[in-house]
Amino acid sequence: MLFLLGAGFNIDANHEAGPVHNPYYGNKIDCEYPLVAEMLQLCFGLDKLPADMSIEQLFSDAKKKHDIGPMERLVDRLMQADEYLALKLATSDTPNVYRRFFEKFSDAHFLTFNYDSLPEIYLHRKERWYPEDGYGVPVITELRFGVSLPPGRVSTSLVLHLHGSACVFGDEFAILGNPFEEVAQLVHTEPRYAFDAHAMSGCFPHYGRAMFRTGFVRPEDRVIAPVPDKSEDLKQQFVRAAYARALPLVSNTGTLVSIGYSFNVLDKSSYRPILEALGQSSDRTLLLVSPEANRVRERLWMEHPNIKITSIEKTFGKWAADSFRGI
């Protein structure tokens, strides 16, 4: 099975996990996966979007002004949600919709436009995903002191982040030298990527911090692309490599199941390659699962009439309660 995950996939985690309270003070911690309106308030302090602007444009403008505040707040919130909600659901003995989903589709791969690590946290606990190869791109990792893992382990489920991940950062420079040399050399290299779970390192207990530089990784260094036209950042090597792994999977699948992804017209540069790969054969199906699935189906069918598109107008949680009908 092959799944395409959007922001709507995460939202049920907010109520499935229940409220999270500070163990020392007892107050409720705001750590839910954010919707667009919540991101607007969280990152920019706005109650509504300015006229003729999207939240992606706000992020883009902040990036151009070297204002790291909005991105920093987004990364912090996503890592909080992963640390408190995803980990709680992945380790709890109480059944939940995410556990049923990942257990039922035990041989699946996942394409995602999200920056969080909810799928990886579940799959890593089941020994189905490892950061070294699970992103579909070679990633450098650092094991914690005293930890050893079986050699030859490979990820049986890929999680391909088509817009990047908050846990991966890249560098195109290396410092060459040794303690006995007075001068080190800064050299240009091919892009290298490292895994850094940072604030939610407890979600991946075997791994420490893999850093190319000293100090903490800045939010803007992470492989994240919140821009109005994603084609600008699709030129990034990490994202291009993720697409290179994703498109053959799409071409070879019988059904691509999209969960909670809106196929926003502003994101055409992101999803068009996927639908074109799916439409290369007439017997391919796109199954849409979201509260707006019927409306999205009508629009996509007009653009891609060679793809059989079916829709289920339900949230992810309600679809899971209906035994994943349609597959």
Cα–Cα distance, 88 to 179 (Å, whole number):
44
pLDDT over 60 (residue 231): no
Give the per-residue SS3 of 17-84.
HCCCECCCCCCECCCCCCCHHHHHHHHHCCCCCCCCCCHHHHHHHHHHCCCCHHHHHHHHHHHHHHHH
Q: What is the pLDDT of residue 57?
A: 77
Is the distance from CB of 262 to CB of 296 less than 8 angstroms?
yes
Task: Give the angle subtended at the CA of 293 by the CAs of 292 and 299, to the nearest 5°.
Answer: 100
Q: Which residue has the higher pLDDT, 86 or 30?
A: 86
Query: Taking a C-beta distance cutoff of 8 angstroms, is the pair 124, 205 a contact?
Result: no
Residues facing residue 310 across a β-bridge:
287
- Residue located via tokens 């903490």: 216
pLDDT in tens, 71-115: 889 888 999 999 999 999 999 989 999 999 999 999 999 999 998
Per residue in 60-74, pLDDT tens?
Answer: 788 888 888 988 898
- Taking the CA atoms of 128, 16, 164 and 175 in sequence, report the sign of the dihedral they define: negative
- Domain definitions of the chain by residue range: 2-321
Phi-psi region of 321 (alpha: psi -120 to 50; beta: other; left: phi over 0): alpha
Mean pLDDT, to the nearest integer, of 152-178?
A: 81
pLDDT (0 to 100) of residue 226: 45
Give the confidence band of 228 by pLDDT, cuts at 50, 70, 90. Answer: very low
Please report how many Cα atoms fall inside a 13 Å half-sphere around the Cα of residue 205, on the Cβ side.
5
